[in-house]
C-alpha cells in the first residue's frame, strides 16, 4: 500500500496537539485559494430531495455552481464569498441540515449505502443513523469531539467498517437483533442489542473524550491516544453496564465480502423496488447533475466513495432488460432504473462498472489549494483520455492524484496507485511495482498503463 499521510501516529509516538482541529464545517468556513469552502455534514449520506435542491440553489447563488462529495459521504460548497456565512446558515436551517449549530462538525456518520436497498438480506441500519445523530446533537459532551472523529454503521457487509472509523457498529446477520461495537485499534468487540447500538456508540465516544482529557494531548481521534490511555474493551464494557446497556465480549468477525463501494448500475431491491448507483468523476458534480439526481425519487444517499445511490425506482429497467424505443430521458420521466441510468450517463456521470473514471480520485489541487503543486484534476483528465482499458485480471486499483504529500481524500480500506506532485514532477507508487519519481504529465499515461497491466484488486490481495 502507498505511504500513508501524516494524519495519525502509532501509539508509540503519540500525537500532541497544540490547538483544536481546524476541520471546516457549515458555519466555520475554510479560506481556500478559490474562495471560502463549506463542508456540510450529512449523516449516513442520507438526503431528501428538497434539502438537495436547496443545496444546489446555494451552490449557484453563493458558490461556484458545483457540489463536491467527500470521502465521508458529505457535501462541500466551494468558491463562497467571505460574507455569505449568514445566508448559507439560513439555507441549511431551512433544509434541515443544521439541527444543532454547536454540533454541526461532529455529525460524522458513515453507513452502508445499500443498507435495506438490495437483496443481501442484511439488517437495515438506516434507523441507527437517525438515532445516533439525534443522540449526538442532544449531548453537550459530544460537542467536544473533533470534526475528524468518525462513526461507521455497517449492516454486516463490511464496507464502511473498512474506513478507519473511530467507533464502529456492525449488525450481526441472523443473530437475533444484535450488533458488534468496537473502537479503532481494538482487537476485541462487544456484542450489544441492536436497539441499544446507537446509545452504545455514544458511550464509546464519551470514553474517548475522557481518555483524551486524561492524556492531555488534545487527541482528535482514537488512534492518536498514547499507549497509556488507549481505549480498552473491558473498560468500555463497564461503561456500557453503567449506562444500562448489557454487553458481552465477542470476536470481531466483520470483513468485506466484495468491493466496498456500490457497483455503478442498477440494484434490485427486496420488496419489488430498485435503486441505482452512480459515481461523480473526481467527486465533483455540477448543479444540473445534482438536480437531475435529486429529481429522480426525491431521495439520495451520498457514499464515502464519492458516489450517489438513488432508492425508490421501478425495477423494470435493470440493465440487461430490452430497451424500449423512445425511452424517456428527463429526470421527471425517468422512473425506472434503465431510463434513469441512461439520463445520468448522458449527463456525464459514471453508470457502468467498466467506466475508467470509476477508479480515479483526486484532491482539490490547483487552483483551489495553495499547498498543491499541480492542477491534479486537469492532469488526471488528460491521462485518462489516452489510457488504455486495463486487462480483465480483476478491477483496477484506484488511482489517487495528490497535489502534495498530505494526500487529502485518498482511498481507505484498499490498496491504491499513489500519484503525488513534487517540485520535480509526479512520484508514482503502486503495490508490486517499482516506485517512479519525477514523471512529467506527458509521461503519466504510459506509466499508468504499465501499472494497470501488472496490478489490480485481485493481484494486490495475493
Place of cell 448507483: 277
Instruction: Specify the pLDDT at position 30.
Output: 93
Instruction: Specify the pLDDT at position 323.
Output: 40
Cα–Cα nearest to 192, from 131, 241, 155, 256: 241
245 phi/psi in degrees, rounded to 5 = -115, 105
Cα–Cα nearest to 136, from 125, 148, 151: 151
Radius of gyration of the CA atoms of the chain, in A: 22
Exposed/middle/buried for 23, CB within 10 Å: 0-12, 13-18, 19+? middle
Instruction: Specify the pLDDT at position 339.
Output: 87
Helices (H), 159-272: 197-215, 233-242
Q: What is the DSSP letter of 236?
A: H
Instruction: Specify the pLDDT at position 321.
Output: 39
pLDDT along the chain (462 residues), means of 10: 47 62 91 94 98 98 97 96 95 96 97 96 96 98 97 96 96 86 94 97 98 95 96 97 97 69 93 92 97 95 96 67 41 68 95 91 90 93 65 70 92 88 96 93 90 60 47
Question: Torsion over CA of 209, 29, 367 and 426, rounded to 10 degrees?
Answer: 0
Instruction: Specify the pLDDT at position 271.
Output: 81
* Other CB atoms within 10 Å distance of the CB of residue 235: 12
Instruction: Specify the pLDDT at position 419.
Output: 95
Instruction: Specify the pLDDT at position 83.
Output: 92
Amino acid at each position: 500500500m502507498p505511504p500513508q499521510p501524516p494524519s495519525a501516529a502509532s501509539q508509540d509516538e503519540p500525537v500532541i496537539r497544540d490547538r483544536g482541529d481546524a476541520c471546516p464545517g457549515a458555519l466555520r468556513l475554510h479560506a481556500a485559494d478559490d474562495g471560502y469552502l463549506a463542508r456540510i455534514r450529512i449523516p449516513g449520506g442520507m438526503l431528501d430531495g428538497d434539502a438537495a435542491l436547496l443545496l444546489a440553489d446555494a451552490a449557484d447563488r453563493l458558490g461556484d455552481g458545483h457540489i463536491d462529495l467527500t470521502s465521508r459521504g458529505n457535501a462541500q460548497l466551494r468558491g463562497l464569498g467571505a460574507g455569505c456565512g449568514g445566508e448559507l446558515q439560513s439555507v441549511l436551517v431551512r433544509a434541515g441540515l443544521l439541527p444543532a449549530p454547536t454540533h454541526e462538525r461532529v455529525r460524522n456518520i458513515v453507513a452502508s449505502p445499500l443498507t435495506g436497498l438490495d437483496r443481501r438480506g442484511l439488517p437495515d441500519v438506516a434507523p441507527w443513523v437517525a438515532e445516533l445523530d439525534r443522540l449526538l446533537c442532544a449531548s453537550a459532551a459530544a460537542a467536544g469531539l473533533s470534526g475528524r472523529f468518525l462513526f461507521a454503521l455497517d449492516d454486516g457487509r463490511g464496507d464502511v467498517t473498512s474506513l478507519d472509523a473511530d467507533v464502529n457498529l456492525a449488525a450481526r446477520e441472523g443473530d437475533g437483533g444484535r450488533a458488534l461495537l468496537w473502537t479503532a485499534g481494538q482487537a476485541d468487540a462487544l456484542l450489544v442489542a441492536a436497539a441499544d447500538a446507537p446509545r452504545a456508540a455514544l458511550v464509546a465516544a464519551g470514553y474517548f473524550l475522557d481518555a483524551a482529557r486524561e492524556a492531555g494531548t488534545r487527541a482528535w481521534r482514537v488512534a492518536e491516544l498514547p499507549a497509556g490511555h488507549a481505549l480498552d474493551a473491558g473498560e468500555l464494557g463497564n461503561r456500557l453496564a453503567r449506562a444500562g446497556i448489557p454487553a458481552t465480549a465477542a470476536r470481531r468477525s466483520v470483513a468485506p465480502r466484495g468491493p466496498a463501494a456500490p457497483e455503478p448500475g442498477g440494484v434490485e431491491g427486496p420488496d419489488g423496488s430498485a435503486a441505482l448507483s452512480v459515481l461523480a468523476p473526481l467527486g465533483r458534480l455540477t448543479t444540473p447533475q445534482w438536480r437531475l439526481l435529486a429529481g429522480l425519487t426525491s431521495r439520495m444517499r451520498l457514499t464515502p466513495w464519492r458516489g450517489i445511490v438513488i432508492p425508490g425506482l421501478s425495477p423494470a429497467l435493470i440493465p440487461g432488460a430490452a430497451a424500449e424505443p423512445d425511452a424517456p430521458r428527463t429526470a421527471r420521466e425517468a422512473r425506472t432504473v434503465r431510463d434513469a441510468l441512461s439520463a445520468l450517463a448522458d449527463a456525464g456521470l459514471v453508470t457502468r462498472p467498466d467506466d475508467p473514471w470509476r477508479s480515479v480520485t483526486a484532491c482539490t489541487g490547483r487552483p483551489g489549494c495553495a499547498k498543491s503543486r499541480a492542477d491534479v484534476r486537469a492532469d488526471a483528465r488528460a491521462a485518462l483520455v489516452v489510457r488504455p482499458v486495463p486487462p480483465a485480471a480483476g478491477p483496477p486499483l484506484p488511482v489517487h492524484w495528490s497535489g502534495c504529500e498530505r494526500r487529502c481524500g485518498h482511498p481507505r480500506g484498499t490498496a491504491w496507485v499513489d500519484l503525488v506532485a513534487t517540485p520535480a514532477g509526479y512520484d508514482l507508487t503502486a503495490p508490486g511495482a517499482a516506485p517512479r519519481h519525477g514523471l512529467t504529465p506527458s509521461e503519466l499515461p504510459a506509466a499508468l498503463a504499465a501499472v494497470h497491466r501488472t496490478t489490480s484488486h485481485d493481484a494486490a490481495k495475493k
